[in-house]
Every structure is written in structure tokens, then in C-alpha cells.
């Protein structure tokens, strides 16, 4: 559930389009503040752009994976022209500490980690946006109904493993025949050579995970930011090796009962037109939130909405956050 399972985590109207604080072919802005904050199990790297004491509630974004890094979210820094934007690497990922203790790799600990970031930064009130696996953390956090939470955005989220795998199977079935049949064979008892499976998986990713190449600035950031990058061991322990079969600790995950704990007036589901988390599935989850949550579909984007359509994605976030700055869940 990261922006590319193996390598890269790393509908808005014209009036909602973002006002980028930088160009994607230029360098990303340097952080206003960096810190290593204590969380359950170790310390995590946190960067802030903007004023945490500004008039608008800060936004924290949670990266995907498990095992991804914050670099996949750098395009959201465009929002720092009007509110503080907080990015962090989860424990055992990126620039955070890597204790590599599987006892830490529990959903509840990752949720506690998010709250520890808020406490460490002394933020009284914030918006939370989780993307992909980060959406699982955001869902679990919002379901606790913390007083500090103004609104929650669930971006291409993993809500239930069963639903995720059903979406993956449906999308695989819609691929060109060669790629589809190869991927099915790759899950069989006598799979094709690994190279053939990799090529077919790349076709799947290009359709549904990320449809656009990363800009030079994002590739440079991922190379020089000074972290250890994606944690394959963490990913495989919690999810597995295949897009279509979950064998890790998340294999039976089902967060759908938590949807009843959310407030539809302050919850947004945000997915790409071609997302691995299919829009029809996201709409079904949104309908289960009391009052009905909003759904935004980013045209032309796959799972990596910020990567494929950064202007549209930031524009949707900008407008939605502004409408919920004084809210509490």
C-alpha cells in the first residue's frame, strides 16, 4: 500500500486548484524545523514547514507502506503557504530509528506514534491525512475521537484487507491479457520466471499505482535526504510479498467497524480515478460513516494521487481543510 510496492514510496474545479509554493522541477523547500521525537519503541524523524502557531490548524500527513517514507508526500508542502505541514517517518522507516523489533509492528503502536508526534510538537489541534497504509493509521486514530482532531482525510486507504484484495483482483482482471494471465500464473503452484512476474507487476503498477514518472526534484529528495529509505522487512512482515495475497500480520485486518466511530461532516475519502483503492469501494466505505463522508476522486490519478496529480490533490485538500479549520471530531 505504498506508492510503489517494491521501489518508490519512494475532481477539482478550477477554483480549487492549488497555488504551489514551489515548482516540481525545482528543489523542495527546506524544513522550518526538524526533530527526532520520542514515540513508543524509539524516536522518529519529523519535519515541519510553516508556523505551528499560525491561525490555521496544522496538517500532518502519514505515509504509506508499511515501511515507506515521508518523501512520497513532499508535494503536500505546497500547503505550507497557509498552514504548517508536518511530515514524519514511521519507526523503522526513513530517517527514524530502526530498532527492527517486530513487537513494534502493530497497528495500535503506529497510532500511538502519531499521537506522540502531536504531543512532541505541542500541537493542540490538527488535521490528519493518511495515504494508503497511512490511511489505516488515520482511520484508527480518528476512531479514538481525540479532542485535538479537526478533520481526517483517508487517501486511497487500506480499510479492510479483504476489500483491498478484492479490488486488486478486479483491477488485475481488467489488465491486458498477457499481463493479467501472467500475474494469475505468478500466484500458482508453478509460477513463471521472476522476471516475467516483475514485468507483469510493473504493468499493474503503471495502470493503478502510479501513472506518471516522478519529477527530478522528488527523485533527488529521495536520494539525498539522508535516510535508509523503504524497509522491505517491515513491509513483508505486515503485508507480504505479493500485491494479490496478504500473508503478514495485516492479512485479517478489518477496520470497517471503526467507520461508525467517525463523523461524516469531518471525514473525507480521497482516491484517484484509477486507484488501487477503487472509487466505488471508497464510496461504499464513506456511506458507512454516520452522516455520510465526502468522497473526492482525483481525475487522471492512480493510487499515488500526490505523485500523479499534485496540483489537483493539493487543491482538494486546501479547500476541504479550510472548511474544517474550526471543527472538532
**What's the CA gap between 91 and 198, in Å, rounded?**
28
Question: Is residue 15 pLDDT above 70, yes or no?
Answer: no
Question: Is residue 1 pLDDT above 70, yes or no?
Answer: no
Number of Cβ within a 10 Å radius of residue 303: 27
**What's the CA gap between 114 and 125, in Å, rounded?**
13
Question: Is residue 16 pLDDT above 50, yes or no?
Answer: no
- Please name which of 234, 229, 227 lies closest in space to residue 66, comparing C-alpha atoms: 234
Which residue intervals of the chain are DSSP H helices? 107-121, 133-143, 161-173, 177-186, 194-208, 216-224, 232-238, 279-287, 305-308, 310-322
Domains of the chain, start order:
14-167+212-322 (3.40.50.1820)
- Please name which of 90, 82, 92, 81 lies closest in space to residue 114, comparing C-alpha atoms: 90
Cβ atoms of 83 and 28 within 8 Å: the answer is: no
Question: Is residue 185 pLDDT above 50, yes or no?
Answer: yes
Cross-strand bridge partners of residue 130? 62, 154
Cβ atoms of 57 and 150 within 8 Å: the answer is: yes
pLDDT exceeding 70 applies to what percent of the chain?
88
Q: Angle 315-259-173 (CA atoms, 0-180°, nearest 5)?
A: 75
For the chain, how long is the longest CA-to-CA vector?
Answer: 60
Q: How confident is the model at residue 241 (pLDDT cuts 50, 70, 90)?
A: confident
Q: Quick one: pLDDT at residue 242?
A: 82
* Joined grid coordinates for residue 21: 509554493
Question: Is residue 14 pLDDT above 50, yes or no?
Answer: no
Cross-strand bridge partners of residue 36? 45
Q: Quick one: pLDDT at residue 326?
A: 76
Cross-strand bridge partners of residue 154? 130, 269
Cross-strand bridge partners of residue 48? 33, 86
Averaged pLDDT score across all residues of the chain: 90
**What's the CA gap between 223 and 217, in Å, rounded?**
10
Q: Quick one: pLDDT at residue 154?
A: 98
* Joined grid coordinates for residue 146: 481525540
Q: How confident is the model at residue 25 (pLDDT cuts 50, 70, 90)?
A: low
Q: Quick one: pLDDT at residue 9?
A: 33
Cβ atoms of 168 and 5 within 8 Å: the answer is: no
Q: Edge-to-edge strands of the sheet including 42-49?
A: 33-39, 42-49, 85-88, 59-62, 126-131, 149-155, 267-272, 294-298
End-to-end alpha-carbon separation of the chain, Å? 26
What phi, psi does 284 have (nearest 5°)?
A: -65, -40
Cross-strand bridge partners of residue 128? 60, 152
**What's the CA gap between 233 and 230, in Å, rounded?**
9
Amino acid at each position: 500500500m505504498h506508492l510503489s510496492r517494491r521501489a518508490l514510496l519512494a475532481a477539482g474545479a478550477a477554483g480549487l486548484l492549488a497555488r504551489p509554493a514551489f515548482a516540481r522541477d525545482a528543489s523542495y523547500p527546506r524544513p522550518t524545523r526538524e526533530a527526532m521525537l520520542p514515540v513508543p519503541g524509539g524516536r522518529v524523524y519529523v519535519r515541519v514547514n510553516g508556523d505551528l502557531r499560525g491561525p490555521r490548524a496544522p496538517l500532518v500527513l502519514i505515509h504509506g507502506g508499511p515501511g515507506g517514507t515521508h518523501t512520497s508526500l513532499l508535494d503536500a508542502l505546497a500547503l505550507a503557504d497557509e498552514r504548517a505541514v508536518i511530515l514524519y517517518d514511521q519507526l523503522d522507516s526513513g530517517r527514524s530509528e530502526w530498532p527492527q523489533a517486530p513487537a513494534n509492528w502493530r497497528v495500535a503502536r503506529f497510532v500511538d506514534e502519531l499521537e506522540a508526534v502531536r504531543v512532541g510538537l505541542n500541537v493542540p489541534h490538527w488535521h490528519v491525512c493518511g495515504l494508503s497504509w497511512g490511511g489505516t493509521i488515520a482511520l484508527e486514530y480518528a476512531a479514538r475521537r481525540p479532542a485535538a482532531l479537526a478533520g481526517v482525510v483517508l487517501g486511497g486507504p487500506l480499510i479492510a484487507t479483504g476489500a483491498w484484495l478484492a479490488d486488486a483482483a478486479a483491477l488485475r482482471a481488467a489488465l491486458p491479457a498477457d499481463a493479467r494471465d501472467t500475474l494469475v500464473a505468478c500466484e500458482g503452484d508453478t509460477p513463471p520466471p521472476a522476471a516475467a512476474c516483475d514485468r507483469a507487476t510493473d504493468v499493474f503498477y503503471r495502470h493503478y499505482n502510479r501513472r506518471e514518472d516522478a519529477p527530478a526534484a522528488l527523485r533527488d529528495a529521495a536520494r539525498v535526504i539522508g535516510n535508509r529509505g523503504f524497509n522491505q522487512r517491515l513491509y513483508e512482515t505486515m503485508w507480504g510479498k505479493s500485491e494479490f495475497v496478504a500473508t503478514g500480520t495485516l492479512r485479517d485486518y478489518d477496520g470497517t467497524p471503526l467507520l461508525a466511530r467517525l463523523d461524516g461532516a469531518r471525514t473525507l475519502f480521497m482516491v484517484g480515478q484509477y486507484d488501487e483503492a477503487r472509487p466505488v469501494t471508497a464510496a461504499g466505505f464513506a456511506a458507512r460513516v454516520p452522516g455520510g463522508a465526502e468522497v473526492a476522486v482525483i481525475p487522471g490519478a492512480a493510487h499515488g494521487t500526490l505523485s500523479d496529480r499534485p496540483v489537483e490533490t493539493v487543491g482538494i485538500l486546501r479547500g476541504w481543510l479550510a472548511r474544517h479549520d474550526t471543527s472538532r471530531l
